[in-house]
Amino acid sequence: MQRPVELDGGLVVRELARGDGAALAEAYLRNREHLAPWEPSRTATFFTAEWQESEVEAALQRLEAGSALPLVIVDGDEIVGRVNLSDIVRGVFLNANLGYWVDVRYTGRGLATTAVGVAVHAARGLGLHRVQAGTLVHNRASQVVLERNGFERFGLARRYLRIAGEWQDHVLFERLLED
C-alpha cells in the first residue's frame, strides 16, 4: 500500500513514515490506560519520541524487506490508531498476522472495522492468501471488528501472549483472501 486511503471524517490510513515517532509517542501516552489491558506491559521509555522513532525505523526495515506492512490512522497530524500486517510469510503459506488499535476517543464509531478492511485489501494487493489475528478471550469488541471483516474463529491459543503482565488465552481468527 503506497497511497494513503481516505476514510470518512477526514481520517486517513497510510504507511508509517520516518518522523512519526513523536506523534506515536503522543498517541500511546494519550491512550496508555485505554490500551494497558490489551497490550504487553510497557516501560516509561516506550512512551518517548526517541523510543518510538527507533521502532519506526525497525518497522520500516521490515516493510522494505517485505515482512510487514505498518500502517497508521491519522486525523490531520495526529495519529489516532495503528493497523499492522506483520510476520508476512511468502512461499506456500502467504500469510500475515494482523494487529490494530484505535484511540479511545474514536472507539465505537466503526473506525477499527474500516481500518482492518483497508489492511485486508492491502494484504490482497501483496498477493497473500491468508490473514490471521488473535484477540483476548474477553475482547468481544475486537472480535466483532474481525467478524465484520469476514474473519472466522478457528481456535483457541492457551497462554498465547503475555498481555498486561500475564500469559493470556487468545481466540484465533483467520480470513482466507480468495473468499
Residue whose C-alpha is closest to residue 37's, from 115, 109, 104: 104
What domains can be seen in the chain, in order of their start residue? 5-131 (3.40.630.30)
The whole-angstrom separation of Cα 43 and Cα 124 is 36
Q: What is the pLDDT of residue 8?
A: 85
If you average pLDDT over residues 55-60, what whole number do you get? Answer: 98
Chain segment 98-117, per-residue pLDDT in tens = 999 999 999 999 999 999 99
Q: What is the pLDDT confidence band of residue 9, given thresholds at 50, 70 and 90?
A: confident
The whole-angstrom separation of Cα 71 and Cα 118 is 10
Q: Which strands make up the sheet holding 152-163, listed edge to edge?
A: 5-6, 11-15, 69-75, 78-89, 95-102, 130-136, 166-176, 152-163
Other CB atoms within 10 Å distance of the CB of residue 58? 12
The whole-angstrom separation of Cα 2 and Cα 38 is 29
Give the ranges where the chain is alpha helix by DSSP (H). Answer: 21-30, 32-35, 49-65, 111-125, 140-148
The whole-angstrom separation of Cα 89 and Cα 67 is 7
Say which residues have a Cβ less than 8 Å from residue 120's Cβ, sequence separation at least 6. Answer: 131, 149, 150, 175, 177
- Model pTM? 0.95
If you average pLDDT over residues 68-74, what whole number do you get? Answer: 98
- DSSP summary character for residue 3: S
The whole-angstrom separation of Cα 133 and Cα 46 is 23
Q: What is the pLDDT of residue 1?
A: 66
